[in-house]
Amino acid sequence: MDLARLAHKVTEETGIPVTPRDGERILAAVLASEDIWRIVELARIPILAVCAGLRALAAEGWLVWERGLIRLTPAGERACRELGLSPATELACPRCAGRGIETSLLDDLAARFSRIAAGRPEALQEFDQGYVTEETTIARIAFLLAHGDLAGKDLLVLGDDDLVSLAAALTGLPRRVAVLDADPRIPAFIADAARAEGLRIETYLHDLRQPLPGELQGRFDTFFCDPTESLRGFLVFAGRGISALRGPGGAGYLGLTHAEASLAKWKAIQEELLRWGAVLTELRDGFHRYANWPYVETMRSWPHLPVKRRPGPREPWYRSALLRIELVSEAAVDLGPVEGDIFEDDEAGTT
Amino acid sequence: MDLARLAHKVTEETGIPVTPRDGERILAAVLASEDIWRIVELARIPILAVCAGLRALAAEGWLVWERGLIRLTPAGERACRELGLSPATELACPRCAGRGIETSLLDDLAARFSRIAAGRPEALQEFDQGYVTEETTIARIAFLLAHGDLAGKDLLVLGDDDLVSLAAALTGLPRRVAVLDADPRIPAFIADAARAEGLRIETYLHDLRQPLPGELQGRFDTFFCDPTESLRGFLVFAGRGISALRGPGGAGYLGLTHAEASLAKWKAIQEELLRWGAVLTELRDGFHRYANWPYVETMRSWPHLPVKRRPGPREPWYRSALLRIELVSEAAVDLGPVEGDIFEDDEAGTT
């Protein structure tokens, strides 16, 4: 089987655009690990494409799974050699976990944040939740700080099971912090914590399928959001964020995975962001790590996994890139209310 | 003076698109350093815009320069406080210099590369040269390796005073390494070094204003180039690089500065890359540091600098982002021969 045929087969089966190069990514991940979750992490393509690819490779006799592990057969090893493939490697800096950002200045913040976050609401599938590790939230704050998007700025967080608004307000640096979420537990938790800590955070219960409340439009310097990843859902989140910015020089941060978004989807997203008047100024793949969520066995990709291990992954495996965008001209977002499910598309794997 | 007026004045004078936010960037840099080169580095906007901005701020009585240093006046300090500005901070990880990538596995490579590079040709203004530090070249190699773009791959380097082709070939990992440059000293030096080290590198003397030689078109998995930064020049380099790729899954690496490119230019570049069928998969600002070059006093921005110190900057100050792009569809580059100067535009500061 050549990789062009593999890519074609996976695309046929899943509806996800996959290249021969993505086939290499699956094999390079298998050369590096026998663990399904680590393979998904290293392959950096949609989880449903990884599953379909692994099955196709097994049908070809290149792979087997035994006792919950995925192993190359001698034929598979030979094929990898002939293709000139090497094990996937990350070469991530061990000090900053590959993020490039130093957080030691924020150790006090990290300790306070950790104490508060201990009582946080658990992630719910209904809202496509799944929060980043506490360490990741602190790294985000450091990143905003280093880009001049925190101190003295007005910050809006759109959807915040990650509690970015709390971490930001705890620094005492922003001028204004506002947060909205469709899950009533989130604004309630943040408002309670803010009260207990003597912080000022405006909280809103808001479904992003609706345009932002008028008093939040065009009033912020910075927005942060970690969107749901259907193409439509991602663009709704991003568009609402951009509509909150004052104008040129306003900055936005977004999370974007490989696990639920092909590079074709990445491209469609980037095209729209540019069309709306923004430019990408940073794109750090793998910046975010997510704590494992409790609904692994009901997520869409579960029945597709070639090996299932209970109670699910031991280590964080779900990651996402951090994008920073900045408006170069006045925002040109024309997004009215949207209806229906904004969580699903062919590539969604965790909803 | 408000920052909107400052931005307007700088744009009027220089023809460079500048936002009030860029005004904040200048002041935040001045709050962090008195050294003109460090201010340019931290401000992350075109050097000619920094110069014009500093002069406008001095005319307003916010700044003075004395004994080669740039200092805020009490009026300037008060204004910064009123604007809520803080000193620019980088929070770069000290282990990886903010790159996020671990290079210790490549220490032997670094030592061999350093020995060879000791005899390299000096940077020439005629070709808009200025090479990255050796440490930066090694970090690039590690980055390519971690993205699966080096081992077993065919690599083309377009313009190579950085000697990326040599460093790549020294790893023994690529299947093919080819390099082209318009400065005859570069292919000659690389060919000599390759011969002495027993490496196979194809070298070409080629002016990128012309399309690639037929035998290089559509034949590579990866290209690397650090383009000249006029908009036209950048796109010519990038377009030639893309035309060298086999197709979807092919990857390209590009360097892009703030010192000679406004975010408006970044946006124009990103739009074209997307139009050509590529997606951005990484954008790490500040990844590259450049060794200081010998032609500081004849570069275009020299007469504009408010303070001039001889013999020029002591530390590296010129940096650029590393972009990784990947083809999602067949390349759609339609670039014939181009004529005339491809080095100059309003934002160019070092040519």
Cross-chain residue pair B101–A93, CB shorter than 8 Å:
yes
Nearest chain A residue to B264, by CA: A328
One pLDDT digit (tens) per residue for chain B, 351 residues:
799 999 999 999 999 999 999 999 999 999 999 999 999 999 999 999 999 999 999 999 999 998 889 999 999 999 999 999 999 999 999 999 999 999 999 999 999 999 999 999 988 888 888 999 999 999 999 999 999 999 999 999 999 999 999 999 999 999 999 999 999 999 999 999 999 999 999 999 999 999 999 999 999 999 999 999 999 999 999 999 999 999 999 999 999 999 999 999 999 999 999 999 999 999 999 999 999 988 888 888 888 999 887 778 888 899 999 999 999 999 989 888 998 888 888 898 887
Q: How far off is chain B from A248, nearest CA to CA, in Å?
A: 6
CB A69 within 8 A of CB A34: yes
Q: What is the pLDDT of residues B236-277, one digit of tens each?
A: 999 999 999 999 999 999 999 999 999 999 999 999 999 999
Cross-chain residue pair B328–A282, CB shorter than 8 Å:
no
What residues of A are in contact with residue B326 (Cβ under 8 Å)?
Answer: 21, 263
Residue-range domain boundaries for chain A: 3-82, 104-327
Nearest chain B residue to A95, by CA: B95
Cross-chain residue pair A326–B264, CB shorter than 8 Å:
no
Fold of domain A3-82:
Arc Repressor Mutant, subunit A (1.10.10)
Q: How far off is chain A from B346, nearest CA to CA, in Å?
A: 17
Q: How far off is chain B from A226, nearest CA to CA, in Å?
A: 17
Which residue, chain included where needed, has tokens 């032609």? B295
- Output the six-digit token pair for A68: 């919950």
What residues of B are in contact with residue A263 (Cβ under 8 Å)?
Answer: 279, 281, 326, 328
Cross-chain residue pair B22–A249, CB shorter than 8 Å:
yes
CA–CA gap between residue B287 and residue A89 (Å, rounded): 19
Residue B136 half-sphere exposure, CB side, CA atoms within 13 Å? 22
What residues of A are in contact with residue B20 (Cβ under 8 Å)?
Answer: 248-249
CA–CA gap between residue B27 and residue B331 (Å, rounded): 42
Segment holding B110, helix H or strand E: helix B107-117
Handedness of CA A11, A17, A22, A26 (dihedral sign): negative
- The total of other beta-carbon atoms located within 10 Å of residue A112's CB is 16
What residues of A are in contact with residue B24 (Cβ under 8 Å)?
Answer: 148, 249
Cross-chain residue pair A93–B100, CB shorter than 8 Å:
yes
What residues of A are in contact with residue B94 (Cβ under 8 Å)?
Answer: 95, 102
Nearest chain B residue to A262, by CA: B328
CA–CA gap between residue B209 and residue A254 (Å, rounded): 37
Question: What is the ipTM score, two decimals?
Answer: 0.96
Size of the A and B interface in Cβ pairs below 8 Å: 169
Q: Is A84 helix (H, G, I), strand (E, B) or coil?
A: coil
Q: Which CATH class is domain A104-327?
A: alpha beta
Q: Is A111 helix (H, G, I), strand (E, B) or coil?
A: helix
Provide the phi-psi class of B324: left if phi over 0, else alpha when psi is between -120 and 50, else beta: beta
Provide the phi-psi class of A61: left if phi over 0, else alpha when psi is between -120 and 50, else beta: left
CA–CA gap between residue B16 and residue B260 (Å, rounded): 10
Residue A148 has its nearest CB partner, among B24, B283, B326, at B24
What residues of B are in contact with residue A8 (Cβ under 8 Å)?
Answer: none
Residue B267, pLDDT score: 98
Residue A263 has its nearest CB partner, among B19, B98, B279, at B279
Strands A319-327 and A251-256: what pairing? antiparallel
Residue B344, pLDDT score: 86
- The total of other beta-carbon atoms located within 10 Å of residue A175's CB is 12
What residues of A are in contact with residue B101 (Cβ under 8 Å)?
Answer: 91-93, 98
CA–CA gap between residue B338 and residue B333 (Å, rounded): 14
pLDDT, average across residues A204-223? 96
Contacts with B53 (C-beta within 8 Å, 6 or more apart), sequence order: B6, B10, B18, B22, B23, B26, B45
Q: What is the pLDDT of residues A29-70, one digit of tens each?
A: 999 999 999 999 999 999 999 999 999 999 999 999 988 899
Cross-chain residue pair B175–A17, CB shorter than 8 Å:
no
Q: How far off is chain B from A233, nearest CA to CA, in Å?
A: 20
CA–CA gap between residue B240 and residue B252 (Å, rounded): 11
Q: How far is CA A90 from CA A162, A247, B100, B148, in A?
A: 25, 37, 10, 9
Residue B99, pLDDT score: 98
Q: How far is CA B307 from CA A98, B41, B65, B296, in A?
A: 38, 15, 7, 13
Q: What is the pLDDT of residues B286-322, one digit of tens each?
A: 999 999 988 888 888 888 999 887 778 888 899 999 9
Cross-chain residue pair B283–A279, CB shorter than 8 Å:
no
What residues of B are in contact with residue A319 (Cβ under 8 Å)?
Answer: none
Residue B351, pLDDT score: 75
Cross-chain residue pair A264–B89, CB shorter than 8 Å:
no
Cross-chain residue pair B99–A100, CB shorter than 8 Å:
yes
Q: How far off is chain A from B218, nearest CA to CA, in Å?
A: 15
Contacts with A291 (C-beta within 8 Å, 6 or more apart), sequence order: A123, A130, A131, A132, A133, A316
- Output the six-digit token pair for B268: 């124009």
Which residues pair with residue A283 across a beta bridge? A323, B283
pLDDT, average across residues A110-118? 96
Give which of A16, B220, B241, A316 is closest to A26, Cα–Cα.
A16
What residues of B are in contact with residue A274 (Cβ under 8 Å)?
Answer: 267, 270-271, 274
Q: B271, B273, B283, B289: which to substitute to probe chain A, counting the most A Cβ within 10 Å?
A: B283
CA–CA gap between residue A256 and residue A43 (Å, rounded): 15
Nearest chain B residue to A251, by CA: B21
